[in-house]
Structure 1
Amino acid sequence: MKKIKFAVLLVFLLTSFYNYAQQPPAGKNKVKVTGKVFEKVSKQPLEYATISLMAPNDTKVIAGGITNPKGEFEVAVAPGTYDIKVEFISFKATEIKGKTISGDTNLGNVNLSEDAAQLNEVVVRAEKSTVEIKLDKKVYNVGQDMMVKGGTVSDVLDNVPSVSVDTEGNVSLRGSDNIRILIDGRPSNAINVAEALRQLPADAIDKVEVITNPSARYDAEGGSGIINIILKKGKNQGLNGTFIASTGLPETYGVSGNLNYKTEKLNYFTTLGYNKRTSEGAGLTNTQYVDANGNAKGYLDEDRDTKRTSDGFNGRAGIEWTVAPNTFWTNAINYQKSSGDTRDYITYSNFGAAHDFTGNSYRLNDGVTGSENVEYTSNLIKNFNDKGHKLTADLSISRNTDDSNSYITASPNFNTTLNDQVQKQVQLQADYVLPLGEGSQFEAGYKGSFGDLNNQYIITNNAGIPDPDLSNTLQYKENINAIYTQYGFKVNKFSYLFGLRWEDTNIQVNLLDTNVFNTKKYNNLFPSAFISYEISDQSNFTASYSKRLTRPRGRFMNPATNYSSNVNIFQGNPDLDPSLTDKFDIGYIKRWDKLTFNTSAYFENTKDVFSFVRTPNGNVLTPDGQIVTPQPGQIVDGIPVILSRPINLGREQKFGFEFTLNYTPFKIWRINSNFNFYNVKTTGDNTYIDTKGNTVVQNLDNQANTWFARINSKLTLPYKIDWQLSAVYNGEQKTAQGQNLGQFGMNTAFSKDVLKDKATIAFNISDIFNSRIMRSYTYLENDVTHESQNAYSEMQFRKRQFNLSFTYRFNKAKNDRDKNAAPKNEGDGGGGDYPG
């Protein structure tokens, strides 16, 4: 019923806007002046170029406008004779003198050339806002953020509107981790995405795009949206580059540089970086055991102290070849190699029913990790004309290895663990875009993704013998073929985009040690629809729908047991099914001279949603209700072992709204803020075997409200010192088995340009108050025996950090925009924006 009401409301709103659009304009005597603005050399459209119409030989502007992302403009003006001026910062203005306009007039393509004299002067005026708000996405420009200098991609993402990164490096969008992370429009091929993002330096990133409701041209993967990380590509003529060195506390240092050499037809680019990072963390879990009468049986306190060190090298080299004025071919090799040590020390303290101390024990996990990722990418763009008719083709081949070994000492026993993973992946993609007259466009494309992961996991006991219950060899094969088509057109002030994507999935999940083989085959249609209404040049309304999918991957499906704690363990579930999401989004954007406001209301309905459950570590029932070797949950030193694992819970419905504000009260002060509030309702049951062999059914129905807020301020102080301050708060949230408490964090940074603005010194503090700690309560009750466990937990993955960096630029202005750029295929699918 709620969905019907929502649909009726949506149709009513759209119909109202459409009827309004059909009304005659207020000024019948006005005509339209249209055209497109391009960069003369590369034919790249120029967004935010200004068009001014003046009376002949007069400087007073009578009418004007700005260009959209395609370089298009439209100005309404009364018939007459005008001087027309087209301008863009750091480019020579183009003037058309004495143009007589008697009816609707198309000025055609206006090409602007660079002004070398202005380029050297552009320092502050050419600087883009840290956050650009667009109708279909938010774009975060990394280069202007001082707080990520010397940091990683995880630090970058933690400053992006609508995005948050928890203390373990997991990324979420609008409060959901069912997202797709792309790098230059392609899915990250890393085995451990969270760890790979911590290894990639922030200095290699140009910008981040957040797409909350993707169209059919994008992968259907990512129930809550897509985050596209775009790497830097040099575009300036000649030799230029940037060098960055950083150091910090806890012991952290790194060096990186990017070098670019561009000629008329060839563009060579490379990025190299090395970093050594130390992260200190801590955690605790205090558990109370209660009998059926509500009396305490005992207590267990776990205190955890963690120290992680890592050495990482990141390299990227490529060449962009202008084969012809309308054909561009780019080839690149990406290489990452890292190694590290982890020391995790846990102290267990046992207490009796009266909280009297009864003894303690310890557990020490000394681990060594290493990974190596190699990827070759190729991108070909063929532009048939300058109106958007193009064909793009992409190829990606990668091989990733991830190894970790640890020696676990826990009196009186010890264990060793070995975890070796090898992943190979090939991706093919082709996209075709065909404009069909004024304001309409057709797109079609194909994508194939073929992956193979082999994971060997072994845990040995005191005698060096592998434990058959904990060890396994996982083979995961995934083949996905997809085709899509979409059509966009514009009618008056309405723009429409309708698309359909079909994906065929074939997945094999094989446990080779136990001869358990599981094949999952399915294919789905993913429709999408977008409608935009241009209320004025400064405001727009949008409504959109898309169907999305989330496939279980990585640690979600890997049954390897995380053995860092022997009483609180994590294990993946190889029998997980994908979840399907219907997404609805209504948005509004309004721009003023100093303020941009963007708000949206959204609704997501997800079937078979993934959810983590905590149960005694006994065997569970199969999805068809059959008990597989029922055994009581495990006991260690009289303490029930608690297993955390993902399941297909049932259904999740999320309704929320968010708004983003960009405000520039003065030239020296810029403020960005983001607020998100949502309600989540989940329904479903979980069945498990308790410590006494009883079959227990958990009802996990839950409904909760939570919110998220972030504010970022950048102010230029006297002596041209820039100061940046950001604060973020995650509101508390009720869960089916407890409650996550609120979390607050604040970062700050200062920077100063030196050496005639060729270099910059920046100092930043991450988590000023050392307050970014995950805190939660968990309540587990056995519906059969009525015994329960109540636990309070804290986890801090990384403590407060201090960082100092030095940046030096040569043959490159501080705030260069990308000039002389070949049109890029930076989106997964490569299609152009929909008309309007």
Structure 2
Amino acid sequence: MRQPLRFILSLTFFFTCLSSFASTGDPVTEPAKEKVKISGTVIEKVSKQPLEYATVTITDSKNPKAITGGITNSKGNFSIEVTPGIYNIKIEFISFKAIEFNQKDLQKNTDLGTIALVEDAAQLDEVVIRAEKSTVEIKLDKKVYNVGQDMIVKGGTVSDVLENVPSVTVDVEGNVSLRGNENVRIFIDGRPSNSLNMAEALRQIPADAIDKVEVITNPSARYDAEGGAGILNIVLKKGKNLGFNGSFIASIGNPETYGASANLNYKTEKLNFFTSTGYDYRTSEGTGFTNSTNLNRETKEIIGYNYEDKNTERIRKGISTRTGVEWTVAPNTYWTNAISYRDSRGSNNDLVNYNSFDANNNFVSTRYRLSEGDDNGKDLEYASNFLKNFNDEGHKLTIDFSYSTDRDNESSIITDETIDSGNPATFDETLNNQKQKQYQIQADYVLPIGEGSQFEAGYKGNFNNLDSNYSVNTDDTGSPIEGFLSNTLEYNERINALYTQYGFKVNKFSYLFGLRWEDTQIDVNLLDTNNFNTKKYNNFFPSAFVNYEISDESSVSLSYSKRLSRPRGRFLNPATNYSSNINLFRGNPDLDPSFTDKFDLGYLKKWEKVTFSTSMYFENTKDVFSFVRTETGDYVGDNPVILSSPINLAKEQQFGFEFTLNYSPFKVWKINSSFNLANTKTTGNYTYTNINNEEITQNLNNETFSWFSRVNSRLTLPFKIDWQLSGMYFGPRNTAQGKSLGNYVVNTAFSKDILKDNATIAFNISDVFNSRRMKSQTNLESVMSYSEFQWRKRQINLSFTYRLNMKKTDKDKNMPKNNNGDDAGGGEFPG
């Protein structure tokens, strides 16, 4: 809370002085007088810590209007020049009792010494109510979603958080999209995450550990070029309050879900110790079906029907912790070290029933396929951040280093039996063991040049090694099937990057121009088949931003950046999802990166109760990733085996429009909404050879119109009960091989502060109407199908939060100094 209030206070002081000067009438020429300097240091009385941005106001003892003044720097120091005379001096800081020096005769340089301010409890309570953050903050370069006040995600995970973030969608399988594009880069505390399974990794981080999410749709050259759709930066909570403080959270839910976590912080003058540790047990129940009509490829006659029903139960349990210490090496030098560890285990049970019928819809057979799986994963990361502030004007050097290891082991037993066929059940065993190591090092240098100009430069190295072993043991002898289903993948990635950018301001125009160069070498090796593939490329990625400030309340911006998307995770891994042996999914290790040119025209307007942001965007992508469903030529009974896999298509062009609206009709009611629509045109053909050595070419040209909208309302009811309601709708869209149908989801929550506002109890329901289902139609040469799938059924959660030595809105004070106000590596210029 303190940082934005400092800014507001500074602006208030500036406009007060400006108003005073404006009302003095025509200037009168007077002889110049030699000025004297007034200086001092402002600290917090209890902790002895300097108070940055404390306001010093100097007024004429005979005239209450401000003459001059200033604010303190990071060391609490101030120095102000005035002409000799008798003045009143007032030192104040928000939520502290002001100190005044009245009738001070200033005839020579005067040092007021150390001035200690004391917190004003009554004023603090008033400020907390007035300065409460809105759920969504809209800026031209990014949107910031503050999680701390969102009751709907209490007891949930990061995936639940992202479902409520403007411009972001999460499908039923947990895949994240930005403006409808899945090529989005996920950052954790400003560092890119290369988790083996991103969708699953996001479900492992509890929502209570998240401070905010930053949405950057068109990043500058400072950021990684990867992420064609943009960047999502997930900022974790960090404590900064003096002494010992924190919060404890417990939750329980249905289907069976419970968890407990603690976010604790202890700060001394030089050291700040913090930890966020929790245990989580979560059950997710899902359901789905696929109704297929099988066709003769040549005559197109119906040869049979197959109805597939699927029920899933996924259990996740594990411990996660992030513990570290920030050391104030010197008043302007900070060094932070943190260790993160996650140990998760779980089970995945899928039951698929197949009912087959002939061409006349007469019953033929019933078959079931039961997959009983176990998995466990361990992640360990060490991260170090060093910040040197050379002065108070933004001249700084930042160095980051991180090392992480990630192990995931999965196994499953698959039982397949046709009822009353006389044939015994078959048993398949799948094993998928993955191990990843990653090193990252980054250095960023910022140099302000004069007033309103800034130069930046930096280097980043990212070195990633992944080993994946996947096998399927099947048939009566238990011997492995090689090639099509089993493989050993070795993936090595080395990326070196340099960037520079320069920003400056001329009158009401602000400019930021940057250039990034990245050199990439990737080795994708399939050891079982001796297929070795090395991809080398280096590219320049320019970016340009122009902002025009129409007034203090409105501005317009135009931006361009070049981006790329490297295939990762499930896109690359050729391990085949074998839970259904007629609808398979497999990654493609031969994928090439796709390159995107992004253009964005934005407009921002603020009124007293309304903030409106809108933008038009155009994206032109080459070698775009696209999922295709292909007929393998193989059959299970009369049912063709269909394989879904990603490929590189020729080109995709997307033109879209979105707006975000924040509205507060009353003090107790806040509404934010967003709307996005886009027209996407895809061009390309795909040729493949099926298992029968038949070459098949598919024309995947497609043009589709898609849209989605989101509305979130937060209302304070009588007895100080907060009610939050959100709704999302995802419109239908055509695909090259069929159609995705529309679906909607409604979430709601209630919360109440208790125990003298030191604790909060919250009750939420996710997917109130159990309507969040992915629905699609697919048309291929030999099969037409309609399917629905629901990853997680309705979830009900009850949570209890207790705050220790911590106000309800103290999270606003918790931004660490070493981030300098920006968690993704420095603030955008201009901002």
1:223 aligns with 2:228: yes
Structure 2 contact 235–823 (Cα < 8 Å) conserved:
no
1:51-90 aligned at under 5 Å gives the runs: 89-90=94-95
Residues 52 and 794 (structure 1 numbering): CA distance in 2 closer, same or farther, change over 3 Å?
farther
What is the aligned counterpart of 2:601 among 569, 586, 590? 586
Map of 1:13 onto structure 2:
none
1:771-790 aligned at under 5 Å gives the runs: 771-781=771-781, 788-790=782-784
- Deviation string for 1:12-57 (max 9, x for gaps)? xxxxxxxxxxxxxx99x999xxxxxx997788977xx999999998
Map of 1:363 onto structure 2:
369
What is the aligned counterpart of 2:623 among 584, 608, 633? 608
- Which structure has the larger Rg? 2
Map of 2:406 onto structure 1:
400
1:595 aligns with 2:610: yes
Worse-superposed segment, 815-824 or 576-585 = 815-824
Map of 2:742 onto structure 1:
742
CA distance in 1, matches of 2:278, 2:286: 25
CA distance in 1, matches of 2:614, 2:91: 31
CA distance in 2, matches of 1:386, 1:60: 29
- Secondary structure of 1:218's counterpart equals coil
Q: What is the CA-CA distance between 1:356 and the residue it aligns to?
A: 1.4
What is the aligned counterpart of 2:276 among 264, 271, 274? 271
Residue identity in the other structure for 2:615: S
Residues 121 and 809 (structure 1 numbering): CA distance in 2 closer, same or farther, change over 3 Å?
farther
Structure 2 contact 821–827 (Cα < 8 Å) conserved:
no
Q: What is the CA-CA distance between 1:310 and the residue it aligns to?
A: 1.0
Map of 1:625 onto structure 2:
none
TM-score, scaled to structure 2: 0.87
**Cα RMSD for the two superposed structures:** 3.0
CA distance in 1, matches of 2:699, 2:618: 24
What is the aligned counterpart of 1:466 among 471, 480, 491? 480
Residue identity in the other structure for 2:402: S
What is the aligned counterpart of 2:456 among 431, 443, 460? 443
CA distance in 2, matches of 1:52, 1:299: 82
CA distance in 2, matches of 1:83, 1:542: 44
Residue identity in the other structure for 2:570: R
1:14-33 aligned at under 5 Å gives the runs: none
- What are the ranges of 5 or more consecutive residues in structure 1 without an aligned counterpart? 1-25, 32-37, 68-80, 100-110, 618-632, 782-787
Map of 1:383 onto structure 2:
389
Map of 1:563 onto structure 2:
578
Structure 1 contact 228–827 (Cα < 8 Å) conserved:
no
Structure 1 contact 167–798 (Cα < 8 Å) conserved:
yes
CA distance in 1, matches of 2:158, 2:117: 35
Map of 1:115 onto structure 2:
119
Map of 1:797 onto structure 2:
791
Residues 391 and 191 (structure 1 numbering): CA distance in 2 closer, same or farther, change over 3 Å?
same
Residues 82 and 373 (structure 1 numbering): CA distance in 2 closer, same or farther, change over 3 Å?
same
Map of 1:813 onto structure 2:
807
CA distance in 2, matches of 1:170, 1:522: 28
Structure 1 contact 739–777 (Cα < 8 Å) conserved:
yes
Map of 2:80 onto structure 1:
none
CA distance in 1, matches of 2:358, 2:531: 43
Structure 1 contact 120–813 (Cα < 8 Å) conserved:
no
CA distance in 2, matches of 1:645, 1:570: 6
1:521-536 aligned at under 5 Å gives the runs: 521-536=536-551
Q: What is the CA-CA distance between 1:555 and the residue it aligns to?
A: 1.1
Worse-superposed segment, 600-609 or 289-298 = 289-298
Map of 1:102 onto structure 2:
none
CA distance in 1, matches of 2:216, 2:448: 23
- Secondary structure of 1:219's counterpart equals coil
- Deviation string for 1:558-585 (max 9, x for gaps)? 1111111100001111110000000000
- Secondary structure of 2:181's counterpart equals coil
- Secondary structure of 1:425's counterpart equals strand
Map of 2:136 onto structure 1:
131
Residue identity in the other structure for 2:808: K
1:212 aligns with 2:217: yes
Structure 2 contact 151–762 (Cα < 8 Å) conserved:
yes
CA distance in 2, matches of 1:61, 1:324: 35
* Structure 1 runs (4+) greater than 4 angstroms displaced: 38-46, 49-67, 81-89, 91-99, 111-114, 690-693, 825-829
Residues 428 and 97 (structure 1 numbering): CA distance in 2 closer, same or farther, change over 3 Å?
farther
Residues 661 and 405 (structure 1 numbering): CA distance in 2 closer, same or farther, change over 3 Å?
same
- What are the ranges of 5 or more consecutive residues in structure 2 without an aligned counterpart? 1-21, 28-40, 73-85, 105-114, 418-424
Residues 793 and 326 (structure 1 numbering): CA distance in 2 closer, same or farther, change over 3 Å?
same
Aligned length: 759
Structure 1 contact 429–829 (Cα < 8 Å) conserved:
no
- Deviation string for 1:727-783 (max 9, x for gaps)? 0011101000010000100000000000000000000000000000000001113xx
Structure 2 contact 720–752 (Cα < 8 Å) conserved:
yes
CA distance in 2, matches of 1:210, 1:89: 30
- Deviation string for 1:535-561 (max 9, x for gaps)? 111111111000001000111111111
Map of 2:754 onto structure 1:
754
Residues 97 and 277 (structure 1 numbering): CA distance in 2 closer, same or farther, change over 3 Å?
same
Structure 2 contact 284–314 (Cα < 8 Å) conserved:
yes
- Secondary structure of 1:641's counterpart equals strand
Map of 2:309 onto structure 1:
303
Q: What is the CA-CA distance between 1:308 and the residue it aligns to?
A: 0.8
Map of 1:483 onto structure 2:
498
- Deviation string for 1:166-224 (max 9, x for gaps)? 11111111111101000000011421111111011111111110000000000001001
Structure 1 contact 217–829 (Cα < 8 Å) conserved:
no
Residues 294 and 616 (structure 1 numbering): CA distance in 2 closer, same or farther, change over 3 Å?
closer
CA distance in 2, matches of 1:174, 1:51: 46
Identity %: 64
Residues 477 and 567 (structure 1 numbering): CA distance in 2 closer, same or farther, change over 3 Å?
same
Map of 1:170 onto structure 2:
175
CA distance in 2, matches of 1:600, 1:615: 37
Map of 1:833 onto structure 2:
828
Residue identity in the other structure for 2:250: A
Structure 2 contact 237–814 (Cα < 8 Å) conserved:
no
Residues 288 and 121 (structure 1 numbering): CA distance in 2 closer, same or farther, change over 3 Å?
same
Structure 2 contact 266–274 (Cα < 8 Å) conserved:
yes
Worse-superposed segment, 125-134 or 252-261 = 125-134
Residues 578 and 54 (structure 1 numbering): CA distance in 2 closer, same or farther, change over 3 Å?
farther
- Secondary structure of 1:719's counterpart equals helix
Q: What is the CA-CA distance between 1:58 and the residue it aligns to?
A: 8.6
CA distance in 2, matches of 1:305, 1:804: 26
TM-score, scaled to structure 1: 0.86
